[in-house]
Amino acid sequence: MLEYKAPQRDIRFVMNELLDSEGLYQTLPGTEEASEDMMNTIVAEASKFCEEVLAPLYQSGDEEGCEWSEDGVKTPEGFADAYKQYVENGWPSLAAPVENGGQGLPNLAGVILNELTGTANWAWGMYPGLSHGAVKTIEEHGSPDQKDTYLGNLVSGEWTGTMCLTEAHCGSDLGLLRTKAEPQADGSYAITGTKIFISAGEHDLADNIIHIVLARLPDAPAGTKGISLFIVPKYNLNEDGSIGERNQVFCGSIEKKMGIKASATCVMNFDGARGYLIGPENRGLNAMFTFMNTARLGTAVQGLAHAELAFQGSLKYARERLAMRSISGPKNPDGPADPIIVHPDVRRMLLTQKAIAEGSRAFIYFLGQQSDIEERGDEAASKEAADLMSLLTPIAKAFITETGYEAANLGVQIYGGHGFIKEWGMEQIVRDARIAMLYEGTTGIQALDLIGRKVLGSGGKLLMGFTKLIHQFCEEHKDNGVGAFVEPLAYYNKEWGELTMKIGEAAMENPDEAGAAAVDYLMYAGYVTLAYFWAQMAAVAHKKLEEGSDDKAFYEAKIHTAHFYFDRLLPRALMHKESMLSGADNLMEMEEALFAF
């Protein structure tokens, strides 16, 4: 049976010591109250809720799953009560603007809350999770009337939101979508079509569900240039804002899935449902990217969550499970065997999980801060933060979910045969983690976005903005006791730019070269990016030890894990380098007919 304990010490380390959140938020308008004490209190209270309310429902929810009927979808036992507590405690409004009924705390607070709820129970966390993207979309693109109508209840959690993009025939190629939007005399639109893979599209947790839907107007241009965005509520609203009659949108079925079985993944049928245009006609995909970018960062949190949960379960098991003797001599001479944590290969797996989880936490929290700077900083700082977010979001989404899945699989391996058995919980983490590499665009799509739109498309400017930060760090720390990390980091940072030029030059001759290199390029970028954060954490830990900190074991563990990352995981970037430089011919020259014979 899994037992989740929120990693409060590491959260505080990243939030306060690594990223100096209090110092940042004293400089950003509207976040001055986000002191270290306040943020620590929020973490402590959220941890208590997640450990005591959500975590006990993780395995039972998977076992029970969701139940579909013509009347709607019933979530597993305890989910609705947990959501009621979540709303009553004010958690949905934590990082929303005060003018929309929120508490006005930084986005980072919301990111941390998402990690805690997601690690405790990812399937449950998806029900409120999609609402954040709906809120951001309406905030940025909605009319004043739409904001007044929908934001208050979405922010409070009384209502939830969804993102209705894809259809059975188009997958990620949204230019092929067929859902129609017919203008009505009252200014609304009749939305008709079927959407698939709609997370939390129907459930029994909230009074209303606000769907954010992509559809085509009559005579709209073909492809992505002819897509518009609409608000479609489950229940229409009366003139006074109260809930009225049922709209013509229904859940036709729920998917039978590999994992996250307690989260309803719905087929949604729109049969002339009343909808309202958000933003300009035929510019819906541009507006939807607000939702998608929010969701991409949220999906990166999923990789962190599964790595953390797998590591916690693995560490407990490795300390308790007795099997064989250490090859260097007995470590538990009074027992029948040694605990498996003494074996080098088990330590390799545990340290891989730990390095992935803690490195990913630093990376994601950094992005949470950048989103706050983008929203609240001065013009120059906001532009710099936006550029960093643009470059790093596809890396975070793809790399952290890929490595998070690896960490989850290592959990099964550490448990051995027991890891394959349901009651221990490890196989559920693997099943739940697998979807993260598909959500909001597969790893391949994120890689194409990175190398095509963000790096080559910006002429390398977005990349240089980040590699400059790494260079500055290396220059500042080359002589202060962390040279073992600075020297290789500086090498990889320089090489990243050189590889980009080689791929760019090859792509000018043959566009397939960029596509062929894309995933390896992203993974290389991910390993170098995580190395940057591990080097930073090692530098902070080194300084704390020099100052004589009482928390010696914590900081020593940071430095040991940083060494492990640089020695064992960062060299994987070399494999990705060789693979990306091998060119497109080994992929494209073989005739299609030869794939089968």
Residue type present at position 336? P
What is the CB-side half-sphere exposure of residue 587 using CA atoms within 13 A? 13
Give the span between the Cα atoms of 72 and 208, in whole angstroms: 12
Instruction: Say which of 379, 440, 476, 591 is annotated catalytic.
Output: 440
Residues 6+ apart with CB under 8 A from 210: 134, 150, 154, 159, 160, 161, 162, 231, 232, 233, 234
Q: Which two tokens stand for residue 487?
A: 């020297």
Q: Which two tokens stand for residue 259?
A: 């994992």
SS3 sequence of 188-251: CEEEEEEEEEEECCCCCCCCEEEEEEEEECCCCCCHHHHCEEEEEECEEECCCCCEEEECCEEE
- Tell me the CA distances in angstroms from 597 to 589, 593, 594, one per residue in order: 17, 7, 6
Residue type present at position 63? E
* DSSP letters spanning 39-82: HHHHHHHHHHHIIIIIGGGHHHHHHH--EEETTEEEPPTTHHHH
Give the span between the Cα atoms of 6 and 46, in whole angstroms: 9
Among 388, 368, 353, 432, CA closest to 120: 432
Is 67 designated active site? no
Q: Which two tokens stand for residue 574?
A: 């070399």
Q: For residue 349, with 0-12 CB atoms within 10 Å meaning exposed, 13-18 middle and 19 or more buried, which class applies?
A: buried
Give the span between the Cα atoms of 344 and 351, in whole angstroms: 10
What is the CB-side half-sphere exposure of residue 468 using CA atoms within 13 A? 9
Phi-psi region of 135 (alpha: psi -120 to 50; beta: other; left: phi over 0): alpha
Q: Which two tokens stand for residue 127?
A: 């029900």
Among 85, 87, 112, 107, CA closest to 96: 107
Rounded to 5 degrees, φ, ψ at 431 are -65, -40
Q: Where are the alpha helices (DSSP H) in 121-175?
A: 122-141, 144-146, 152-156
Q: Which two tokens stand for residue 96?
A: 């929303």
Q: Could you list the active site residues?
A: 440
